[in-house]
Structure 1
């Protein structure tokens, strides 16, 4: 652009040629006809200016024809544009620093403190639309961890008190059994009727101990997880779309054929998040315990309920184990080489029960199928 004023070609040369023809024909000229020409000089004035010019010869006389050079104006415009872009970049970088980098720096140590168990760590509130929701979520997470810790401590304290109380209560019948047993051993009771009475007393005390043991077992197997559901309405298509978006890429990478049967969309009455959690548990089980060839989601409708079935090929579970698979910490004979804790189906059953639904499993040849029964809205 700087060199444009030195370029010999251009519209000013066309106008200079027309000007030369006009002077040659009429001996005069009218500059208003030539917008790009600013002046015409001859004789002693031919070298009196530093403006851009061209030299033309007309009838043996040299003329200096000056013209407008637009290169400088273009340079100014381009420089202004680059300056505006530079200022915009500075403003953008300052905005990123103020609303993203600085707030993130203030939150940098929060995950470490939470991991160390420091639940009283201060989490600064952020009004930024980038981090405001994030800090709000971290605060909810901290409060949830703290509530769970308090609930766990309360549960452990109650169980400990219960076990101490039952242990103390067991001592009374146990002492009576030991005394009666020693009396029978030493032959203190010669009368058959008295011996029968002592044996009945021992049996009665044993029943008391059995009752106490039953209470201990019940306390030990009491729900160790808290489940909360918030009933609402959701389209079946929304739930299935989320599941497909989550697992299609993963299963394609593994080479597993994934099929979703056609279904008629409907509105389900459930907790959408919890229903999604149940389907995720079933999909994870199908991936872990299947042979990796095919996983299918099927649908049916019955008695005002929507049935959603997840099936996988390569089932090695025995029929006799079906009644136990929904118990906590139960793992089938096909889980020896697969990591897990035996809680997936247990969680599904508890959640479906709280949502007013049900879940059941069946073996169809070499396929293992689990069906969720969800109420229609």
Structure 2
């Protein structure tokens, strides 16, 4: 409502200013000659023509300035100095020129001075002053009006723009501050209510996600106990059984229990990693201890380990064992061949290459190998979650190392890079 009133006031001021300028143009003082006075002056000059040099010029009471010339154009007299004293200058000034006649005889010329230039100069000065005043006032009003518009419209919109950036960036704790009486009050209040509701929804989503992760972690941990019991019982039964067929079936049960255990560990570790609770404690060990870690992971005795160079590496033995178990179990599952393990020192890293001789993977799949939940084409009809190599990558990075895929002509190869202390 205020903006409408101010706009109407601005238009009114503009129209008034234009009206004043038009009035000044249309009311320019016109120069009009009093013919009665001119005739009276002419007749008076005729009466005292021969005595003009002795007498004062007549009819001064009319207030007209004039010059008298003889019939040859010679100057006889004037009401004051500074008037046009010849025909040419009088014509240039647009003065009124009248013949002084005695019957039909021309005695001389009467030049009535026309002060047009002075009047126009005065008129222009008045017009200029009036225009400057109108322009100055209008400019000041526009500046004040612009400041008001900026304060009441553009500044709130800039605040809304900054507020929208904060909301887009997820900063939902910052309220939208607005001045009291702002014309966008209800609008901005709705935006602030939206922010509060988004903050609540985000917090509820975080709690739900946290609860889900904690549930998955808890279930994964709880399932490990009965699986361990199944594995222990199957191992005892294998030892006590005298039937080869029973031993074979119990061996399958034991192998499946191992697979379930690995899957549970992967899900559990992935959940802990998302909860940022997957602890990695890096220490220093001799590279000779890697033989034992590989042996513990190679429960089918298919790994062939070449000489590993002696050095001290920075690792978490427990987490490194998880990585090695994952690599070897994947080789069992997808290749079912022997595994060659070769150690080399390259720069600041001890590199362990694990190579099997299965079908391997295509070059298109290689960049996706360490993505979460990704499973290759050769995983069809194979159990798994696609978390093993993802978790292994995460653990190796935590130990300041890495795990990489190596392209080979035959089989599949992974390289563990262990940082040398």
For this structure pair, what is the TM-score category when the shorter chain's length is used for normalisation? 0.3 to 0.5
Structure 2 length-normalised TM:
0.35
Q: Is the radius of gyration larger for structure 1 or structure 2?
A: 2
